[in-house]
Structure 1
Amino acid sequence: MELLYLPLTLYVFTIGTFRTGRFFYFAAANPQISLGGFAGDSKYHILSHIPANYRPKTVLIEQNARDFHWVAQIVQSCDLHFPLIAKPDLGEGGFLVKKIEDMAALRTYHEQYRTRYILQEFVEAPLELSILVHNASGKLQISSITERRYLTLVGDGKSTVEQLLRQDKHAQFRTKKLSTLLHQDWGRVLAKEETYQPIQIGNWDYGATYVDQSSQVSSDFTQLFAQLNHQIGLFDYARYDLKCKSWEALWRGDFKILEINGVKGEPIHIYDAKVRLWQAYKEIFKHWEYILKISQRNRKQGAKCPRLRQGFQILLAHKQSKTQAIQGH
């Protein structure tokens, strides 16, 4: 995977720097958040800017809150109900994202990971989407819509969960991660035609598959998102991750935003099985062209980029935060 990203890395940090004269030029794409959303950006800070009717109920648990009784009181006083989603305030790619079923599971999470994290009500909705927007042309456009389909197995009456996963053309490459998550059901035999959907988190590492739905873009929906993005007031380039009950609910603006990513937000429709490698690279480079164009425009309007030392300090602090989180006590 690292080799696949080598051309992108060269483009971002070499060609982009040469063309702009700034190593961290992309910070100017979204100047109100850390490095434009590349690293060091607080999920909670971003969520706090989303209108209340568009966001799940969310609370922030500070890193120094080691007394779990205090955490339990926050959950109760904020009227949060299980299941909940727990995830670090800093992080990406599904890092330490867990579905928390009860108070005991929350205690385990709290005591296992030394990090500032958010607790978010679990949104019970079957359709999870990632919608990428940008205003490189001066007007907001939707350039990618991706449906995140949850890992789903269908029993044959004789195969275990492990065997079915190893037969699945997508999940077979993620059995190491899934074996840890599904260890209690690993040897369970599913009845014939039994549907098994153990993880309702639309992340690649959790066995989800990505389906390109960019054809669903419409002028009315783009206008709705332009108004919402303007209300939030943080992004010229962003990927919105959200859940809703149906496409019809989405069109009328009935959805919940789980989080918003800045310049690190990929157009993840490139992971659709129908997309070839050269097409994926083309899409990635195209979107980084959007970022470059937005950054140059914003810099002309006064946006600042961090100096080299400052930028690397942010990257280092981001990495250290993730490392510390998994070290525990």
Structure 2
Amino acid sequence: MTMLAEPPAKLATIWPVPHAGMPPLDTAGEPLSAFEFWSMRRFYWPVALYALWLMIRHRGVTLPLSANPSFPGGGFVGESKSEILGLAVKSAPRHVAPFIAIDRPAHPEDAVGEALAAEAALKAAGLDFPVVAKPDLGCRGAGVRLVRDLGQLAAYLEGFPADARLVLQRHIAHEAEAGVFYVRQAGEAKGRIVSLTLKYFPYVHGDGRRTLRQLILADPRAGKLSHLYLPRHADRLDTVPAPGEPVRLAFAGSHSRGSIFRDGTALITPAMTDRFDAIAQSMPEFWFGRFDIRFEDIGRLQAGEGFTILEINGAGAEMTHVWDRSTPLAKARRDLMEQYRLLFTIGRANRDRGHRGQGMRDFIRAYRREKALTPLYPPTL
């Protein structure tokens, strides 16, 4: 990249504005919490023990699978993103990012031919590039990529496992992203938002002297997560970004992929709650889960407007505000225990109403299917 003493004004107008529409990102204090990137076993063991106690207390190992009777397996594991989004499209189409689902053949032969067929399907649905490609079964941002043209789509398909489904969804270009965790218990006329996570995409900014590799390693936060960012940008690590040029380090709004999470629960408003409650109640038997959204501006979101739903996660969703680097370990675990208490309470109430949920055999099959596919997905960029 050409080194510039100062960026021309016309370039500044085409550069993205980091965190546009979001509250200012607080970078004071430690960039990471002590436990943010612990192993799952080390972090979750008290939560797992609590969940075991809830199984005994409510006399039901599979109660979470009854939490959302209209979702495959309650949305706990191995659920289809496209099936769940399809429910939302029927009831709240203006709030859902349009998408199509593509099934790869069991014995694929021609990725280019598949890409041409997928492009035709996109056009038939009123969609065009760029789109976001992601697995229909998957979590934690696995296999999520921005696909800008037919060539990139063919490359994505070529690296995607055979006999598996993927989703191609309209790219919502807003910088602002959030996770909205919704709960409605039996007997309640209205649900509530119990957690709001603001997701900030990480950036470094060029100075016209240092390479991208040097900028990442020198950044207080990115330098601690270089194992996430360096491989993702391997083809341009030795380029020198222009002075002031923002370089986005992560595309997927997933904590495990390097996005920055902040607890925005204090920003929840009655208008926001009313809007998400209306959407949730318009869907059949949706009681517990998280809306992953992009939005124009935090003020409009607080007014219950200006947002687009990317995904809806059910019983397996997490209140991701716990990954705010200022959250104490004890509080993070306590909040997740409260989440599981609500989950089991809702699952028990639905079972008492006659919703038995997914059987153990089907649950194990779905779990194994998701775990087998996840390592085969294309790397998240």
Name the CA shift for 1:15/1:254 in 2 (closer, same or farther; >3 Å).
same
Matches within 5 A, 1:188-267: 188-250=239-301, 251-267=303-319
Which is further off, 63-72 or 18-27?
63-72
> Alpha-carbon deviation of 1:104?
0.5
Q: Select 1:135's aligned residue among 180, 184, 204.
A: 184
Q: Does 1:123 align with 2:172?
A: yes
Partner of 1:322: 374
Match of 2:202 in 1: 151
Does 2:149 correspond to 1:111?
no
Paired residue for 2:233? 182
8 Å contact from structure 1 (residues 174, 205) kept in 2: no
Q: What are the ranges of 5 or more consecutive residues in structure 2 without an aligned counterpart?
A: 1-38
CA distance in 2, matches of 1:192, 1:44: 42
Q: Distance in 2 between matches of 1:191 and 1:254?
A: 33
Paired residue secondary structure (2:292): strand
Contact 1:149 1:210 in 2 (8 A): yes
Is 2:72 the counterpart of 1:34?
Answer: yes
Q: Deviation of residue 116 (structure 1)? A: 0.7
Alpha-carbon distance between aligned partners in 1 of 2:334 and 2:317, rounded to the nearest angstrom: 16
- Give the gaps of 5 or more residues in structure 1: none
| Most deviating of 30-39 and 66-75 | 66-75
Aligned pairs, number = 326
RMSD between superposed Cα atoms in Å: 2.1
Taking the aligned partners of 2:332 and 2:316, their CA distance within structure 1 comes to 16
Identity of aligned residues (%): 24
Q: How does 1:40-119 map to 2 (within 5 A)?
A: 40-50=78-88, 51-64=92-105, 66=108, 67-68=113-114, 69-114=116-161, 115-119=164-168
- Please give the per-residue CA displacement for 1:127-160, whole angstroms capped at 9, x wherever unaligned: 1111001013723011111110011112233322
Runs of 4+ in 1 over 4 A off after TM superposition: 323-327
Q: Distance in 2 between matches of 1:52 and 1:296?
A: 31
Larger mean Cα displacement after TM superposition, 45-54 or 135-144:
135-144
d(CA) in 2 for partners of 1:313, 1:20? 24
Matched, 1:24 2:75: no
Deviation at 1:198, TM superposition (A): 4.9
* Contact 1:156–1:192 (Cα < 8 Å) also in 2: yes
Distance in 1 (CA, whole Å) between partners of 2:137 and 2:218 is 35
Identify which range, 18-27 or 170-179, moves more after superposition: 170-179
Superposition deviation, residue 324 in structure 1? 5.2
Matched, 1:312 2:351: no
TM-score by length of 2: 0.80
Per-residue Cα deviation, 1:48-100 (whole angstroms, up to 9, x for no partner): 12222111120010122844132232233333222210001011100101111
Mapped contact 1:126–1:246 kept (Cα < 8 A): no
**Could you say if the C-alpha distance between residues 306 and 43 of structure 1 is closer, same or farther in structure 2, counting changes exceeding 3 Å?**
closer
Return the letter of the residue paired with 2:165: R
Does the alignment pair 1:300 with 2:349?
Answer: no
Q: Pick which of 81-90 and 176-185 moved more.
A: 176-185
Are the equivalent residues in 2 in contact too, given 1:22–1:305 (CA < 8 A)? no
Q: SS of the residue aligned with 1:184?
A: helix
Report the counterpart of residue 334 of structure 2 in structure 1. 282
- Write the letter of the residue equivalent to 1:85: V
Q: Distance in 2 between matches of 1:310 and 1:122?
A: 33
How much does 1:231 deviate? 1.1
The Cα of 1:218 is off from its aligned counterpart by 1.5
| Structure 1 residue 185 displacement after superposition | 2.0
Alpha carbons 2:181, 2:196 under 8 Å: kept? yes
Contact 1:155 1:191 in 2 (8 A): yes
Alpha-carbon separation, structure 1, partners of 2:231 and 2:264: 31
Distance 1:83 1:125 in 2: 14
Higher mean Cα deviation, 70-79 or 207-216?
70-79
Alignment pair present for 1:6 and 2:45: yes
Say if 2:99 and 2:170, in contact at 8 Å, map to a contact too. yes
